[in-house]
Amino acid sequence: MRSEATEGKEFSQNNVGNQVENQVFCTDEYAPVCGRDGVTYSNKCKADISGIKSAYRGECKK
C-alpha cells in the first residue's frame, strides 16, 4: 500500500555552524487528534508540523 506523505520543515545547525533544513514526513495514517486550536488533525504528526499541540486523541467534540 502506497501513501502520500506530508512534508514539514525544521532547521538545525550543522557542525560548521551553517543552518541546514531538516525535512519531517508524516504518514497518511488516520489516527485523529484534537488540537488545542479546536481543529481535528488526521494524526499527531500532522498537528505537530502545523505547530499545534494535541489536546486529546480522537476527533474534536463540537
> Which string of DSSP letters, residue by residue, matches 3-22?
---EEEEEEEE-TTS-EEEE
The C-alpha atoms of residue 41 and residue 61 are separated, in whole angstroms, by 13
How far apart are the C-alpha atoms of 21 and 6, rounded to whole Å?
16
Compare 8 and 25 and report the one with higher pLDDT.
25
Q: Write down the CATH number for the domain with range 29-62.
A: 3.30.60.30
Structural element, H or E, at residue 24 = strand 19-26
pTM: 0.64
Mind listing the pLDDT tens digit for each residue in 16-46? 666 656 777 899 999 999 999 999 999 999 9
Closest residue by Cα to residue 11 from 20, 45, 50: 20
Task: State whether residue 34 is helix, strand or coil.
Answer: strand
> Where are the chain's structural domains?
29-62
